[in-house]
Amino acid sequence: MTKSGNTILITGGGSGIGRALAEAFARAGNTVIITGRDVKKLQSVVDANAGIRSAALDVTDPSSIETFARTVVQEFPGLNVVINNAGIMQIEDVTAAPANLSAAEATVATNILGPMRLTSALLPHLQKQPDATVAFVTSGLAFVPMAATPTYSASKSAMHAYAVALRHQLRGTSVKVMEIIPPYVQTELMGPQQAADPHAMPLADYIAETMSIIQGNPDVEEVVVERCKPLRYAVKNGNFDQIFKILNP
């Protein structure tokens, strides 16, 4: 994707990485539309950033996605980038089965089915654009899972595989597929304590490095900051077991 002049849709843009990406892309000269379920959060982003638009969207609702896709294409015919960022992360006790399934089902609906459905709904439009990108925000936990969040880790592994397969199917078209792979970042994904955790990568640092990678290589397939490389390349480096033990003491 080019540095500027894009029309970019970002799900889960009301907070965390989604909001920070939206603001960074807007500053770079792109039109940005953010979505989410919390209308107040979306509006606060719009109020603070000229050039960012918002629209409510529940990615767990298939009919809502279909309606949204038709509307956003009509309102923004130049839409050429979709960043599937919306996601949830919950601690699960698998030993409590089957009582633990509600968290797993909600995670699958949000983190897997949501981006698949939205991508499917918008892909016909994107294929008509001369230069388009579909991006998925996954996680370093897609490559080395955190035992306390098994479904979240599995959902990100699934979206990594989906991105690889989609990229292959779209070869030769105008649509590129990008995977953005964050490490542990200071956001409120797991609550306020994560945003203040000194062990997490500061959000501003993460966004700055991510934007530098994207802008330096418009055709990049995986956006992996230095801090995430131990997770992403654990298997390749032959130290998966060691990294897993560090992550899961």
Q: Which fold has domain 7-247?
A: Rossmann fold (3.40.50)
Do 204 and 160 form a contact (C-beta atoms < 8 A)?
no
| C-beta of residue 36 within 8 angstroms of C-beta of residue 13 | yes
pLDDT digits (tens, 9 = 90+) for 130-151: 999 999 999 999 999 999 999 9
* Residue-wise pLDDT tens digits, 6-35: 999 999 999 999 999 999 999 999 999 999
Instruction: Please tell me the distance from the alpha carbon of residue 210 to that of residue 69, in angstroms, as a whole number.
Output: 27
| Burial class for 124, CB neighbours closer than 10 Å (0-12, 13-18, 19+) | exposed
What are 215's two structure tokens?
């802008």
DSSP 140-176: GGGTS--TTSHHHHHHHHHHHHHHHHHHHHTTTSSEE
Report DSSP state, residue 165.
Answer: H
**Model pTM?**
0.96
Domain range summary for the chain, segments of one domain joined by +: 7-247
Is the pLDDT score of 3 beyond 90? no
Nearest to 213 by CA among 24, 12, 7: 24
Lowest mean pLDDT among 89-103, 175-189, 227-241: 89-103
Which residues are marked as active site? 152
Measuring CA to CA, which residue among 46, 69, 49 is closest to residue 57? Answer: 69
